[in-house]
Chain A
């Protein structure tokens, strides 16, 4: 029998507790003494039907105020499945409990009152469910009896909800019209709504396919505890992703040592031929690696990311304090605990409109926002969307001990964070690469020289490739303009691409105005250890303006375009170029030959 975990969400008066009570009652999971207690309490309140909400509202304050304060867990089973329901409070004040209840759920039930339609709260809960990675969302449109069992009203609410859900990451979205009070479509099909062609809610809960929601691809095993007994050393923990079996090659992070799995033991010493996500096991390795809590076993070809800085979405839980940039917390992640400082608050998210407020300076109770977190020890993680177990973390206030936030890692700021060292070294390649960087005014003749250089090198059997600034603005750099910032980014990208070509053994010929010396200096710095030849095509401005093949100078003079280098934007002459080419140095072919000679000298 399979276990299905459900989180419920709905506004205060949507009838959520009643729906669960109904689900338990009609599937006979309610015991007579519980029902008797409910009937007694309902009578005391002067109600004329048993208030099934009283089954789930267990705390005195909840019964007195008729609200749900905290997550309550309910259990019921049918012959097909066993269910755990995390019944979470509906109103804003307790959003953190909804997040708590939803963190392990396979499926979320969102309630909507048919009379009120999709409220802010419903949107909020749907968003939270998608944020927490719940792949299945069932929307119960409740109190259909109070809208005359109207199909039009149901369709209207469904469309309204769908429009909002399109912005969310929900793989599976279904709608059921119900009356929790009378039981329509909860366990049994409703006779009052013959127009509804779907199945009852319980039937859907029994049928929903959740097996494929788990990550069985990325093998991840955070070491939780080490079991030692004479010559036995077992790394105990719960598999956080993928499959492990005896004979598997594994790498231990962060040390990077590799070994093989000697044996996998289930609880109590059952020998397992393989073990998968969610199983609590003890792993023996072939080698003595001396790992401890906080280490993570992965496969050598598929490792968790490792970073000291991560970007994450957080939900803030604390009433007492706000999250502010610069604050430091204890970070609980997989089996590690470290300290983390909030580097930046990128934005606060309005979960109703999904608007990002980038001016926000703090997060308060129930706020959700995106932060950059810098940790003292590197985190071994996967993005939360890929793996809940390695992507989720808690922030704990070190003074009060309170859990103040839940976080979901989106990734490291610079990705990929892990620099893979290739097996092939530069000297192993058949050809030697380099970058030739041609800088100069528009129409100075850079492109003609570059084209000629590429032709000559290839003819001589040396791989070469032309990266023309104007051409790259159609693809790689589409969308970048001519402001100093955009120009800097333009140069940065071309430099990075040139470096890759050079590293691959190709002569990259970059031809672009690149007017700022700082940008060119960065381009050279990016070529750490690779030949970088800066060629200044020093054609006087009046010569360039006289050529003006594209009529750009004329437009700039007429004020039709602004920020044009040499007219109303500066060109910073290179202080110490590797080669200077002036109009008197001959035609483009001669200039190209000069560059080629320089390259040959470099070897």
Chain B
């Protein structure tokens, strides 16, 4: 099930991917050794798949010593949910699903209205509720520092107070490979094992390790609409605006999130190698090209992170 990096025996040099993997494995083991109830956020998106794969490698030959959690907006692509369930079965994982719909039904959050409505921001409430109810003390996320400016400031072990909030001005210094996971009951630590990976690293790893992904990540034909300079998938979740007509295009997704705000790009890449070549040559960031939620304001991510977002 795992494929191995060739390690050159003479120079004692690790390739950059092997070094990044070693860093992630160290973090998984550190958490398993020092926390009581870790959980790994798993959406079926490529970063969480890579994170799960590295976590499984960290504990070989034993099974993963913690469950996985999916925060379900109810607006997921069907292919991604299918892939999620297949992966959970293949790895023999315990999956917990926290659904935004439950919070809507209970009146804890209110659905946005209008053609640009999204459940993206509502996820935060559901995530924090799931952490509270599961009494999780460490929550692994697949966030990477290269994704966005505010994330570039993130620690590997990121302290969250009892309201799940992040205070960027009071982050704990983090040195060497020593991590401070101290917290009180009700507080928790977000842990980002892939902090130092770039989009290209993720794809090279997927290629080298032959990691399966939802088919959305490779070129396929689908019905799309153009909006705000992005291509959005015409799904049952998307309300069309005046003048928008769906048309068919050959596209792939660079990120897979809420179907209402995740865009795709025109592409003919059908294998990991072809995607690696495309990513290496692209001149637009993955979130910039495909995430309407990051365009809200110059500090959109920072604000959502403070509230407790992924």
Which residues of A are at the interface with B, using a C-beta cutoff of 8 A? 1-3, 28, 31-34, 37, 41, 55-61, 63, 69-75, 77, 82, 84, 96-97, 99-100, 103-104, 211, 214, 216, 224-225, 227-229, 232, 234, 236-238, 243, 265-270, 272-274, 276-280, 282, 293, 317, 330, 332-333, 335, 388-389, 392-394, 396, 401-403, 406
Taking the nearest CB of chain B, how far is it from the CB of A215, in angstroms?
11
In the bound complex, what is the Cα–Cα distance between A69 and B60 (angstroms)?
Answer: 40
CA distance A28 to B56 in the complex (A): 35
Q: Which residue of A lies closest to B182 (CB)?
A: A401
| Measured CA separation A75–B33 after assembly (Å) | 30
Say yes or no: is B221 at the interface (Cβ < 8 Å to chain A): no
B152 sits at the interface (CB 8 A):
yes
A406 and B173 contact, CB distance less than 8 A: yes
User: When the two chains form their complex, are residues A224 and B30 in contact, meaning their CB atoms are under 8 A apart?
Assistant: yes
Q: Does B184 sit at the interface, judged by CB under 8 A?
A: yes
The reply to whether B178 and A393 form a contact with Cβ atoms under 8 Å apart is: yes
Measured CB to CB, the closest approach of chain B to A538, in angstroms, equals: 62
Q: A33, B285: Cβ atoms under 8 Å?
A: yes
Contact between B180 and A332, CB atoms less than 8 A apart: yes
Q: How far is the CA of A279 from the CA of B30 in the complex (A)?
A: 15
Are B21 and A267 closer than 8 Å at their CB atoms?
A: yes
Cβ of B71 < 8 Å from any Cβ of A? no
Measured between alpha carbons, how far is A265 from B57 in the docked complex, in Å?
Answer: 11
B143, chain A: closest CB distance, angstroms: 12
- How far, in Å, is A546 (CB) from chain B's closest CB? 69
Q: Give complex CA distance A39, B173 in Å.
A: 32
**A278-B22, A401-B183 known; A58-B12 Cβ under 8 A:** no
* Residue from A55, A74, A232 in contact with B61 in the complex, judged by beta carbons closer than 8 Å: A232
Cα A73 to Cα B288 with chains together (Å): 18
- Given A97-B173, A224-B30, A394-B175: A229 and B19 interface contact (C-beta under 8 Å): no
The distance in angstroms between the C-alpha atoms of A162 and B289, with both chains bound, is 47
Q: How far is the CB of A57 from chain B (nearest CB, A)?
A: 8
A216 to chain B, nearest CB (A): 6
Contacts of B185 in A (CB 8 A): none
Q: Give the contacting residue for A394; candidates B5, B13, B56, B178; CB below 8 A.
A: B178
A227 near B145 (CB under 8 angstroms)?
no
A88-B1 Cα distance, complex, nearest whole Å: 41
A293 touches B33 (CB 8 A): yes
B2 lies within 8 A of chain A by Cβ: yes
How far does the alpha carbon of A77 sit from the alpha carbon of B171 in the complex, in Å? Answer: 28
Shortest Cβ distance from residue A441 to the other chain B in the assembled complex, whole angstroms: 59
A247 to chain B, nearest CB (A): 15
CB neighbours (8 Å) of A216 from chain B are: 12
Contact between B173 and A277, CB atoms less than 8 A apart: no
CB contacts (< 8 Å) of A33 on chain B: these are 284-285, 288-289
Q: From residue A455, how far is it (CB to closest CB) to chain B in Å? A: 58
With A59-B150, A232-B61 known as contacts, the answer to whether A270 contacts B22 (CB < 8 A) is no
A3 partner, pick from B19, B25, B168, beta carbons under 8 A: B19
A-B CB proximity, top 9 nearest: A58-B149, A33-B288, A268-B2, A401-B182, A268-B57, A270-B4, A267-B57, A103-B175, A280-B25
CB-nearest residue of chain B relative to A60?
Answer: B299
User: Given contacts A99-B175, A270-B2, are A224 and B29 in contact (CB under 8 A)?
Assistant: yes
Could you tell me the dominant secondary structure of chain A's interface residues?
mixed
A389 to B26, CA, bound (A): 13
In whole angstroms, how far apart are the Cα atoms of A96 and B175 in the complex? 10
A276 lies within 8 A of B12 (CB) = yes
Q: Is the CB of B16 within 8 A of A269?
A: no
Asked if B200 is an interface residue, CB under 8 A from chain A, the answer is: yes
A1–B16 contact, CB under 8 A?
A: yes
Q: B286: shortest Cβ distance to chain A, in Å?
A: 9
Tell me whether A238 and B22 are in contact in the complex, defined as CB-CB below 8 angstroms, given that A268-B2, A268-B4 are known contacts.
yes
Inter-subunit contact B25/A267 (CB<8 Å): yes
Identify which of B5, B62, B173 gathers the most chain A CB atoms within 10 Å of its CB.
B173
Residue numbers in A under 8 Å from B223 (CB-CB):
none
**Docked-complex contact A265 and B169, CB < 8 angstroms:** no
Given A34-B288, A58-B151, A266-B5, 11 extra CB contacts under 8 A:
A28-B283, A31-B283, A32-B284, A33-B284, A34-B285, A73-B152, A75-B145, A99-B175, A103-B175, A268-B1, A268-B57
8 cross-chain CB contacts under 8 A: A57-B149, A59-B153, A60-B299, A211-B11, A224-B33, A273-B9, A279-B22, A401-B180
- In the assembled complex, B58 has its CB within 8 A of some CB on chain A: yes
Q: Does B274 contact A (CB under 8 A)?
A: no
Residues of A within 8 A of B18 (CB): 279
Chain B residues contacting A388 (CB-CB under 8 Å) are 176
The distance from the CB of A181 to the nearest CB of chain B, in whole angstroms, is: 21
In the bound complex, do residue A69 and residue B25 qualify as a contact, i.e. CB atoms below 8 Å apart? no
Q: 1/0 per position for B188-202, CB-CB distance to A under 8 A?
A: 000000011010110
A99 contacts across to B, CB distance below 8 A: 173, 175
Set of chain B residues within 8 Å of A63, measured between Cβ atoms: 298
- B302 beta carbon closer than 8 Å to chain A: yes
Known: A72-B152, A103-B175, A280-B26. A31 touches B169 (CB 8 A): no
B60–A265 touching, CB < 8 Å: yes
Whether A75 contacts B9 by the Cβ 8 Å rule is no
Residues of A within 8 A of B89 (CB): none
Tell me if B203 counts as interface (CB < 8 A to partner A).
Answer: no
Docked-complex contact A225 and B62, CB < 8 angstroms: no
> A30: nearest residue on chain B (CB-CB)?
B283
